[in-house]
Structures are given as structure tokens and as C-alpha cells.
Amino acid sequence: MRMETRKRPPWASWRGLSRRWVIVISGLALYALLIGAVGIFSASRLARPATTARATATRGATATPGSSWAYNPATDRSTATILAAEHAADIQATAQNDLNHMTLDEKLGQMFLIETYYETWTPDIASMVVGMHAGAVIIYAKNMQTPQQLKAYIASMQAHASIPLLVTMDEEGGLVDRLGYNNFFPPIPSAQSLGATGKPALATQAGDQAAQEMLAMGINTDLAPVVDVRGPNGSIETTRLYGDTPGVVTTFAGAYLDALQNNGVIGTLKHWPGIGDVTQDPHLTLPTITDSLPQLESQHFATFRALLSHDPGMIMVTHVIVTAIDPTMPATLSPKLVNGVLRGQLGYDGVVMTDSLYMQGIALRYNLPEAGVLAVIAGDDLLEGAFDASSMAGMIAALKAAIASGRISVARINQSVMRILKLKIRFGLLPLLSAHYQRVQQANGAGQAPAGTLQADTRRGSAAGRPARA
């Protein structure tokens, strides 16, 4: 049956058209409101202070002096995530740009943490810092005479370095308190005494004190905290340990680490894979850990795993045999323990530094140049052990020979140097190449950025004569 078709009155056609226009106009109004909201959101982001990636993403930023803005984790989590991703991308791009302009000699030099016997700038130091492009230096008591002398000594090294140095010190407190022991500053309590109080806030205070004292001397990296857990056999580290459970150690070491890094000092977890239950000293011999895999996971690895969320600047690996994972190679030189467990299973992709490679735990089996090659193969980035120009030159020659023979690839060297450069950029030692953060600083009235924050791009110098970025 054919249905009858009725004619529509004129007003019906007009009413349909009117409804369509109402829908269109309403849609445009909603779109305008959305654009306005996005604009307000973007402006608020630019008005917020630049902070370290971790502080922004997980802890919340503290407003700069005079700023009325404060981070609200309940409402600003998405913004924090965006900013953290932008930080990471900017750091990656800046480090890649720097790496692209570096020679192989400069790259290899960045992988060395040197020590010296001196208290002032000397030709031997010049050979390591200027001639071989050392990336880091450690300060011992033998380098310290007075606060004024130490500050001048460090400043002279930084003034000659084409890429700023990681200036490191073991500043744990207690028995290992270089600044306090030499009466440069008041002493810092030991880890054991802090853990015994049950008050993590005291570990925060100790970390604040250490960071501020170190920065006053020009020291930007603390080889602390110790995150080893005291085991039933006791420990050679005695009062350097926060406690005998992973929970206590994680809580107190985490508070100390956060305080360091929130003040702009790089922190270092040590000693991977955990030596809180060894009875022999790696300085004198090569200890062995015979614990099972479940014991390793629950006791020794637990604190490292837990503290990765605090974004430690570095992790130090030491010299010990772990029979359940690698019964033949010291942890420092073991691909299974560094690349396999620390990086592969725990997921750490930051800078791994070695304990000193001239310690007997290594020297009983390997000479310094071969130890350096094996450390890089294992996955380590920063090599501690060169103590003068001759020893550093020998280690560099061994690395170059390993590259030439194919034992180590240039890509593997680039991997380590990228990690080191990103760490230096993150903590403001190398400026960040980022128009975004220039806008952020301008929105906040320029001025001095807080310690440890990412800096706008104002190069202090350049490596290998390449032009400084302005």
C-alpha cells in the first residue's frame, strides 16, 4: 500500500530551520567556553615555578618567595604529570644536543670520577680535568685544609672544566662526616643514631644540614645515604646503617635522600647489591654473599627497589660476590647484577657509579685499566679509581682499545654519557635548552631560581670550543 504524502505548512519549515540554528549557536557557545577554559589553564601553568621533575610529579612544588601559588596534589596531579613529562623531554633533548657536539675523548672523560692528592690546582689536576675532560672529582680529608682553601680548590677545578664537574664527597654523618670531622661545620649524627630515634624528621634535618654545608663549599654531590640493611651476622659498616629492617632503612634513608635533593644536592644510594650482612671489608678483600634469591629480594634489594621512587641521582655498586646470581664476577663488574638485576629487574636507568676500582675487592683480580673496561661492559657509567694523570690515561687507553676491538661499542659509551649529562642538567650544573622554562622564569619575575631546579638556557661555557648557547 502506498502511504499518503502530506504537504508541510510554511511555518513548520521555518521552525525546523530555527531549531537547527539554535543547535549551531549553542555548539559555538560551548566551544568558546572550552577555549577560554584552556587558555586559563595554560596561563596558570606558565605562572607556576619551575621545579625538579620529581618534586613536581610526586611531592609537589613549594612556591617561590613572593608567589601565592602552591601545589595541590588533589587537584593538580594532571598538570604535574604534564610538567614532569616536559621536564624529562627537555632534559633528554638538551643532553642529546650536548652529546652530538662531543668528541670521543670528551665522552670518555665524563665517565671518570677522579681523586687527587692536592689542596690546590696543579698540573696533574689540569691534565685530568682539562686534558682528559674528567667528569667528576671526589673530595677526601687529604684535600681539606681550611674552609676557605677547600672552596677555592673546588672553584679552581670548576673554572677550568669545560663541562661542570660532579664534585662529590661521602657525607653520611657519624663516622663518615668529612666536613664535621675536620671541624669545618658542626657534626652530623650517624645513621644508626638517627634510626634509633624513630623520628624520620631528624633524618630530614640531617640531610638539610649536609646539603647546605656541602653547597657552601661548592660540593654538589653526596655519596650517601647508605641503604644497606644490617643482617644477623652484623656488619663492617657499624653505625653507618639506619637499622636492621628494610622498612626502617627505607624510611630514614629516604628522608635523608629527599632532603639532599630538595636542596639541590645529588644523592647516591649505596652499596648495591647490599652489604649490610658481610663480615669482610671490600677495601681489603672480596666478600661473598651466599643468601638465596628470596633472601636477597626481601633483605638486600628491598631498600633499593623502594627508594627508586625517590628518583636518586646515582646508585653506587660495590665489590662483592653474590653466589645466587653471579658466582664468578664481583657485583661492580657483573652484567648480571648491574644490567640484569639493577637495571632490568628493578628498572633503574640513572647513573650507576663504581666504588673505587683500586680497592682490594677488585685489585686482587684485575688491574685498574681492565677493571674500567669490565665495569663499562657490566653497565656502570661513572668510574671511580683514577688517582693521577697517569692512572687515568691508562684507563682511557684501555677503553679506547676495547672500542677498537669491538668489546665496547661507541653506542654503549653514549649511553653512559647521556645518563651523566642528564643528571648534570637535572640539577642545574648544565643549563637546560628550553624555551618553555625561559617563559616560566619570566612569568615568575625571572630572579634566582631555587637550588636544584631546572635552569633556563644561559651557558657558562662550552666543550671543545663549540659556541655557548645564549
Enumerate the domain spans of the chain.
35-63+78-101+433-450, 104-426
Q: Which three cell numbers stand for residue 349?
A: 636507568
- Per the omega criterion (within 30 degrees of 0), is the bond before 282 cis? no
- Using CA atoms of 122, 128, 130, 134 in order, give the dihedral in degrees to the nearest 10: -130
Q: Of the residues 222, 355, 380, 381, which is catalytic?
A: 355
**452/432 Cα distance (integer angstroms):** 12
Neighbouring residues of 362: CB distance < 8 A, sequence distance ≥ 6: 286, 319, 330, 332, 333, 371
Contact (Cβ atoms closer than 8 angstroms) between residue 222 and residue 171: yes
The residue among 101, 56, 16, 109 whose CA lies nearest residue 372 is 109
The model's pTM is 0.78
User: Where are the strands (E) in 8-57, listed by range?
Assistant: none
Annotation marks residue 87 as catalytic: no
Q: Of the residues 208, 281, 283, 436, which is catalytic?
A: 283
- Using CA atoms of 243, 244, 245, 248 in order, give the dihedral in degrees to the nearest 10: -10
Is the C-alpha dihedral spanning 419, 88, 446, 467 positive or negative? Answer: positive
Contact (Cβ atoms closer than 8 angstroms) between residue 135 and residue 113: yes
- What pLDDT sits at residue 164? 98
Neighbouring residues of 211: CB distance < 8 A, sequence distance ≥ 6: 222, 259, 260, 263, 264, 265
Annotation marks residue 76 as catalytic: no
β-bridge partners, 177: 171
**350/137 Cα distance (integer angstroms):** 19
Phi, psi of 198 (to 5 degrees): 75, 15
Residue with cell 568558546: 32
- What pLDDT sits at residue 170? 97
Quick one: how far is CA 187 from the chain centroid? Answer: 26
- What pLDDT sits at residue 27? 56
Residue range 104-426 forms a domain whose CATH class is alpha beta
For the stretch 125-143, pLDDT in tens is 999 999 999 999 999 999 9
Per-residue pLDDT of the chain (470 residues; tens, 9 = 90+): 333 333 443 333 434 444 454 444 455 555 555 445 444 433 333 333 333 333 333 333 333 333 333 434 444 456 667 777 877 899 999 999 999 999 999 999 999 999 999 999 999 999 999 999 999 999 999 999 999 999 999 999 999 999 999 999 999 999 999 999 999 999 999 999 999 999 999 999 999 999 999 999 999 999 999 999 999 987 799 999 999 999 999 999 999 999 999 999 999 999 999 999 999 999 999 999 999 999 999 999 999 999 999 999 999 999 999 999 999 999 999 999 999 999 999 999 999 999 999 999 999 999 999 999 999 999 999 999 999 999 999 999 999 999 999 999 999 999 999 999 999 999 999 999 865 554 455 555 544 443 333 333 333 333 333 323 32
Q: What is the DSSP letter of 189?
A: -
